[in-house]
Amino acid sequence: MEEIQVKDGVIRNASFTDYLLPTILDMPPLRMQILELGDPHSPYGLKGVGEPPTISSGPAIIAAIRAATGRPLSRAPVRPHDIVDTGSS
């Protein structure tokens, strides 16, 4: 969903007013289990809980779509027209 849109060298969504950000409503229901185990290799046993788990999910999803469709996907986000050739760019 997050995408800087550039056309003819001009950024089309240069402010957060036009910048689409995912919200909680865009998330499917999740079942979470919190493991309170410290990391023995970090100070005070701390672990990252923010964005690190999401770093590999985007590339994994794009690779799965590429494998399923045979399309040469090389950008994110993947839009429907990236998967189905509609004859327009």
Per-residue pLDDT reduced to its tens digit, 37-57: 888 888 888 777 666 666 778
Q: How deeply is 28 buried, as exposed, middle or buried, from its count of CB atoms within 10 A (0-12, 13-18, 19+)?
A: exposed
pTM: 0.47
Domain ranges of the chain: 45-84
Q: Please, which pLDDT band fits residue 31 given cuts at 50, 70 and 90?
A: confident
Would you call 36 a catalytic residue per the annotation? no
Q: Please, which pLDDT band fits residue 67 given cuts at 50, 70 and 90?
A: very high
Q: What is the pLDDT of residue 41?
A: 87
Instruction: Give the whole-angstrom CA distance, residue 30 versus residue 64.
Output: 21
Identified catalytic residue from 2, 3, 36, 51: 51
